[in-house]
């Protein structure tokens, strides 16, 4: 190789290095801007409004953490990342949607607008960095991130009330079949000398959201090929969650009846919540096993 061609090759290599660092620096600037905009949002969800601390939305930080970890992992694993082409038009469309949600959400304290804007802004950065190819590689973490967005009370409230009443009805029926002295007035259960209020936490919305989120995460991680399992398991999580909450209320009612109100409202009350979630996970995995067997039999025919 002569001196001229060697100089040209070195110059081309230097341009590639400069372009690489320029692209990365621009990417880090966008991530820094994202952090500046949305750290107050997430701080408020935990320490100001407390939505991510209450029973219904406490899964939010877990979903966000898992989503960001999966996004980072799949971004790094994306094949041919250097060859991905940016899609600035689509990226700016996502930024525009994010701004149209963020501005009124921040100004009017509409938290589900504000948190939803984060997903679109992050999608815009992905499109700016690697276009549609990179977006396809990391689409699941972005979709999964939707589960962190707090739902409006106008939607959650009526569903919660209906589920509390349904849980109360089934609990009273089961305890009545067992021969215990039980009566009901709406969501208040009278068992012997004790009265138990089926509160919002016992309605099962938190369990439903968490099981639905982890069920979809589980399906994505294990890469099921069966359409039956992929469609039916998220649907069946709804009755699984309801059943788990009925079991929780029955257990707490029996603890209160036989060991007193202090036992029912003390440590065992919180412990019952942990047992509830574990029972829901076990039922979900058992249901998935049955669906796998059913799917295998259908394919064998």
User: What residues are labeled active site?
Assistant: 202, 248
Q: How many residues does the chain have?
A: 301
Which pairs with CB-CB distance under 8 Å and at least 24 residues apart come from 167-173? 167/198, 167/202, 167/203, 167/204, 167/242, 167/245, 167/246, 167/249, 168/198, 168/249, 170/246, 171/198, 171/246, 171/249, 171/250, 171/253
Q: Three-state DSSP class for 199?
A: coil
**Angle subtended by helix axes 60-77 and 205-222, to nearest 10:** 10
- Distance between CA atoms of residues 78 and 134, nearest Å: 7
Helices (H), the chain: 3-43, 60-77, 88-108, 111-137, 139-144, 153-177, 205-222, 227-259, 261-265, 267-300
CA distance 82 to 78: 10
């Amino acid at each position: 190789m002569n001196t001229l061609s060697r100089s040209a090759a070195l110059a081309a290599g230097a341009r590639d290095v400069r372009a690489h660092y320029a692209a990365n620096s621009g990417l880090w600037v966008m991530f820094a801007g994202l952090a500046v905009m949305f750290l107050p949002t997430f701080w408020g969800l935990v320490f100001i409004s407390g939505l991510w601390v209450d029973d219904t939305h406490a899964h939010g930080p877990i979903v966000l953490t898992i989503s960001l970890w999966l996004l980072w992992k799949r971004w790094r694993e994306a094949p041919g990342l250097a060859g991905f082409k940016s899609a600035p038009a689509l990226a700016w469309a996502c930024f525009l949607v994010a701004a149209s949600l963020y501005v009124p959400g921040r100004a009017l304290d509409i938290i589900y607008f504000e948190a939803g804007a984060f997903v679109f802004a992050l999608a815009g950065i992905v499109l700016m960095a690697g276009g549609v190819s990179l977006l396809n590689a990391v689409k699941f973490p972005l979709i999964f991130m939707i589960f962190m967005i707090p739902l409006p009370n106008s939607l959650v409230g009526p569903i919660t009330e209906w589920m509390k009443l349904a849980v109360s009805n089934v609990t009273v029926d089961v305890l009545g079949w067992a021969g215990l002295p039980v009566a009901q007035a709406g969501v208040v259960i009278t068992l012997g000398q004790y009265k138990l209020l089926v509160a919002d936490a016992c309605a099962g919305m938190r369990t439903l959201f968490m099981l639905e989120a982890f069920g979809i995460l589980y399906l994505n991680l294990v890469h099921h090929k069966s359409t039956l399992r992929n469609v039916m398991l998220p649907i069946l999580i709804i009755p699984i969650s309801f059943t788990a909450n009925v079991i929780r209320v029955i257990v707490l009612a029996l603890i209160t009846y036989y060991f007193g109100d202090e036992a029912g409202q003390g440590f065992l009350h919180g412990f019952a919540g942990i047992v509830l979630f574990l029972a829901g996970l076990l039922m979900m995995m058992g249901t998935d096993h049955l669906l796998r067997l059913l799917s295998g039999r259908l394919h064998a025919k």
